[in-house]
Amino acid sequence: MSASVTVDTPSGRVRGTVERGVARFLGLPYAAPLDGAGWFLPAEPVVPWTGERDATGYGPTVPKPGYQGPVAELLADEPDFPGPECLNVNVWSPGVDGAAPVVVWIHGGAFRNGSNRSGTYDGAAFARDGVVFVGVNYRLGALGFLDTGDEHTNLGLRDQLAALQWVRENIAAFGGDPSRVTVMGESAGAMSVACLLSSPLSAGLFSQAVMQSGAGHHALRRTTAQTVARELAARLGIEPTREAFAGVPIARVIAESQAIDLEVRSAPDPKWGEIALNTMVFEPVVGDDVLPALPIDSIRAGAGADVRVLIGRNADEGRFFIVPGGVIDQIPEPMALGIAAAYGFADPAATVAAYRGSENLSAGEVFTALLADYTFTLPALRLAEARDGAPSDTYVYRFDQPSTALDGRLGATHAVEIAFVFDTLAAATALTGPGAPQALADEMHAAWVRFLRGEDPGWAPFAEARAVRVFGGAGGISTDPDAAARALWDGVR
C-alpha cells in the first residue's frame, strides 16, 4: 500500500507517494521544456505552475540512439520515452520533514545513452538508509556536446550544473540538507563528475564526489569537437551552425551521429584526433568557462581539493566492450601491438609481452586489458595521486566480483558494480548474471552510505600507503594492488 505526500517547492506544489517509509517524487523538471532551437541552447529555468503537479510517474527521457549490437542485451533495462520535458530528476527521500544527506546520480552511457528511468538506478535503498537520492537526466550526444565554435559549449555539463543548482534550491522541501550534497556517477557519469569537480562553475554545489569507472582524462579539444560538428553537418547537408542543426529533425541528427560513431570505432582515423583513442565522438570539451583545462590537469592544480572523493574501477572493465559477440576471440596479434603503440608505448612488443605474462594471455585478452587500463585504471589512479596532500580525503576501491552472465566470460566487467552499490540486483540480472551475492550488495551499499553521510567508508584514505578496498573476489583491503600496471604506464598515461 502507498500513500500520497505533497511538498511545496519554489516552482509549485508536487504530489508523490510514500511506500515502506520511502517518499518518491518522479519526473520533476529542473529546467523548462525543450523545443525547436532550445534543444541546442542552454536550458532555461523552470516555469512555475499553479495547482498540484503529479509526480507519481517517471518523466520523459533525453533523445538517444539506444545501445547497439550484443552489448544491448546486457543493458536490457534502458527505457526510451522521449519528450520535451526530459530535463527532469527523480527523488527518493527517507522523509520530507528531515535534513538528510543528499546524493545526486549522473548516469553513464558514453555521453550518448542512458537515463534516470533505469530500474537499476532506483534510489529506494539509499532513502531506506537515510539518504535523499536524486537521479538526473542530461542532454546526450550532439544535443549535449556539439561544438559549433560559439559560446554554447558543454550543454550536457551545463544541464548537470543546473540540476545541482535545482538541488541546492529545492532539496530542503524533500527532506534533504543542501549543505551535504554528494555528486556521484559511473562511466561517462563519473567522467562528468570529474569535470564538475574541476569546474569553477560548481563551487558550493557539492562537498563530496563519487566516481565509478571514470575519471578526469576524457575530454576533447574544441578543434577536435568542431571537426565532428563539421562532419555531422556535411552528412546532414547543412552549415555547421547551431541554428542549422536546430532545423533538422532530432532523429536524423542522432542517426547520422551514430553512423559517425560506428565509423570511428571500427576504423580510427588520425583526423579524429583524441577521439581515435577515447572512442567517443561526443565528449565534454576543454577551453570554456565550464572546463578551462582538462579535468585531471585542473585537479592536479588543486581544483576540488576541498571535496571528499571516493573513486575506483572494476577489475575487468574492458571485457564489457569486447566479450559480447565473441570479438575478444577474433583479435589478432597485430591489433594488440597496434593498440599498445597507439597508447604511446615506445616498445609495443615488450608491453604486450608484459601483459601476456606467465598466464600466456591471448591477443584479445591483452588488447582488452590495455583498453581497460588506458580508459579506467590509470585515470582513476592518477586522479587519486593528483589529490595527494589535499585537505580532503580520497578513498579508492576496486570491484572484483565476476558476473556469471555469458558463461562467466565477462568477469568483473564494466558497470556490473552499479546494482551492488544501489542494492538493486533484481533489476540487473542481464549484466550480473544469476546468483549475484546479496551479501556483497549489502556490504558495498553500506560502504557507500557511510561515505555519503560523511563518515569513513570502512578503509583508510589512499594517501595512507595506497590503501585500496577490494570488493568481491578475495576481498579485503590491499596495498597498491595495481602497482605493476601503474609502473608500466609511468610516463605514458
Give the pLDDT confidence score for residue 390 in this predicted structure.
97
| Contacts for 16 with CB less than 8 Å, ≥ 6 apart | 4, 5, 6, 7, 23, 24, 25, 26, 55, 56, 91
Cβ–Cβ under 8 Å, residues 417 and 399:
yes
The pLDDT-based confidence of 76 (bands split at 50, 70, 90) is low
Give the pLDDT confidence score for residue 269 in this predicted structure.
82
Half-sphere exposure of 364 (CA within 13 A, CB side): 14
Give the pLDDT confidence score for residue 268 in this predicted structure.
74
Give the pLDDT confidence score for residue 205 in this predicted structure.
98
- pLDDT average, residue stretch 138-159: 98
- pLDDT average, residue stretch 395-406: 98
Point out the least confidently predicted range of 1-5, 21-25, 198-202, 282-286: 1-5
d(CA 159, CA 30): 9
Cβ–Cβ under 8 Å, residues 142 and 105:
no
Query: Does residue 414 carry a catalytic annotation?
Result: yes
d(CA 56, CA 71): 31
Cβ–Cβ under 8 Å, residues 438 and 342:
no
Cβ–Cβ under 8 Å, residues 456 and 466:
no
Of the candidates 285, 156, 158, the one whose C-alpha atom is nearest the C-alpha of residue 223 is 285
Residue 268 C-alpha cell reads as: 580510427
Catalytic residue, candidates 186, 256, 283, 317: 317
pLDDT over threshold 90, residue 203 = yes
Instruction: Give the pLDDT confidence of 176-189 residue by residue, as tens digits.
Output: 999 999 999 999 99
Give the pLDDT confidence score for residue 73 in this predicted structure.
83
The pLDDT-based confidence of 166 (bands split at 50, 70, 90) is very high
- pLDDT average, residue stretch 314-337: 97
pLDDT over threshold 70, residue 313 = yes
Average pLDDT, the chain: 96
The pLDDT-based confidence of 324 (bands split at 50, 70, 90) is very high
- pLDDT average, residue stretch 401-427: 98
Catalytic residue, candidates 115, 187, 257, 478: 187
Point out the least confidently predicted range of 71-80, 89-98, 408-417: 71-80
Residue 105 C-alpha cell reads as: 546520480
Threshold 0.95, pTM exceeds: yes
- pLDDT average, residue stretch 334-342: 97
Q: Kindly report the three-state secondary structure assignment for every residue of the chain.
A: CCEEEEEEECCEEEEEEEECCEEEEEEEECCCCCCHHHHHCCCCCCCCCCCEEECCCCCCECCCCCCCCHHHHHHCCCCCCECCCCCEEEEEECCCCCCEEEEEEECCCCCCCCCCCCHHHCCHHHHHCCCEEEEECCCCHHHHHCCCCCCCCCHHHHHHHHHHHHHHHHHHHHCEEEEEEEEEEECHHHHHHHHHHHCHHHCCCCCEEEEECCCCCCCEEHHHHHHHHHHHHHHHCCCCCHHHHHCCCHHHHHHHHHHHHHHHHHCCCHHHCCHHHHCCCCCCEECCCCCCCCHHHHHHCCCCCCCEEEEEEECCCCHHHHCHHHHHHCCCHHHHHHHHHHCCCCCHHHHHHHHHHHHCCCHHHHHHHHHHHHHHHHHHHHHHHHCCCCCCCEEEEEECCCCCCHHHCCCCCCCCCHHHHHCCHHHCHHHHCCCCCHHHHHHHHHHHHHHHCCCCCCCCCCCCCCEEEEECCCCEEEECCCHHHHHHHCCCC
Give the pLDDT confidence score for residue 77 in this predicted structure.
66
pLDDT over threshold 80, residue 96 = yes
Cβ–Cβ under 8 Å, residues 180 and 101:
yes
The residue type at 100: A
Point out the least confidently predicted range of 66-75, 114-123, 189-198: 66-75
Cell 517517471 locates to 58
Point out the least confidently predicted range of 182-191, 240-249, 273-282, 409-418: 273-282
**What percent of the chain has pLDDT above 90?**
94
Give the pLDDT confidence score for residue 1 in this predicted structure.
72
Of the candidates 297, 311, 298, the one whose C-alpha atom is nearest the C-alpha of residue 396 is 311
Instruction: Give the pLDDT confidence of 10-42 residue by residue, as tens digits.
Output: 999 999 999 999 999 999 999 999 999 999 999
pLDDT over threshold 90, residue 329 = yes
d(CA 461, CA 468): 8
d(CA 430, CA 72): 10
Give the pLDDT confidence score for residue 271 in this predicted structure.
86
| Contacts for 105 with CB less than 8 Å, ≥ 6 apart | 116, 121, 123, 133, 134, 135, 136, 184, 185, 189
Cell 572484483 locates to 400
Cell 540512439 locates to 65
**What percent of the chain has pLDDT above 70?**
100
Catalytic residue, candidates 414, 417, 445, 478: 414
- pLDDT average, residue stretch 111-134: 97
Give the pLDDT confidence score for residue 266 in this predicted structure.
83
